[in-house]
Amino acid sequence: MKAARFLKGVEVLDLMGNVEPIDVSREPLYEVRGRLIEAGLAEAAMLEPDRPADAVLLCEACNWAAKSVSEEFYELKGPAVDSAAALDCQSGWDGNVFYLHAEGVGVACFHDPFGQIQSEGVWPHPWSGVRRQDLAFLAIKSPALRRLLDLATRPDATLKASHVYRAAVRLAS
């Protein structure tokens, strides 16, 4: 019995040696993911903060959670958006709005009235007209909705907002 526990311990230590350390610049995204899970969005556990598309989804869910779950999420919004912008996301400002784009999820936008987002850059594309913020939680749960949001909000959008909204209603029910 003791030998089996010892060997199991050695196996765990071997596995731990293969674990990548968390990039501290992504810490806000990991924090957002943890808080979303605590708030009941279990599907957030499937998101990887080091992947640009997942980082955009986490930022958008953080922003929506600040409005619909707890204002405490606002504290994480700026640092999370900055972390996502540091990945391979196209990002930048247009007026008082910061845009994040990642392949597979499209473009999310963030108003920043309190100057929490420190990232720089200029967003050269017009807004898609798709109001996607309240779809943030559903987008985490639904790969189909993520694909539609991508097609409707990326700079070379090929889908209309009305298609996204109709699909979201069907997916939510």
CA distances from 111 to 80, 117, 126 (A): 14, 9, 15
Confidence check: pLDDT of 24 > 90: no
Domain edges within the chain? 24-172
Give the pTM. Answer: 0.85
Q: Please tell me whether residue 93 adopts helix, strand or coil conformation.
A: strand
Of all residues in the chain, the percent with pLDDT exceeding 70 is 86
Confidence check: pLDDT of 41 > 90: yes
Confidence check: pLDDT of 109 > 70: yes
Q: Which of 66, 46, 54, 55 is nearest to 28 (CA)?
A: 55
Query: What mean pLDDT do residues 2-28 have?
Result: 56
**What pLDDT was estimated at residue 7?**
46
Confidence check: pLDDT of 92 > 90: yes
pLDDT tens string 115-172: 999 999 999 999 999 999 999 999 999 999 999 999 999 999 999 999 999 999 998 8
6 - beta bridge partners?
none
Strands (E), the chain: 90-94, 97-102, 106-111
Q: What is the mean pLDDT of the chain?
A: 89
- Whether the Cβ atoms of residue 108 and residue 132 lie closer than 8 Å to each other: yes
Confidence check: pLDDT of 40 > 50: yes
**What pLDDT was estimated at residue 88?**
82
Confidence check: pLDDT of 13 > 70: no
Copy the structure tokens of residue 85.
């912008």
**What pLDDT was estimated at residue 15?**
52
DSSP string, 95-112: TTEEEEEETTTEEEEEE-
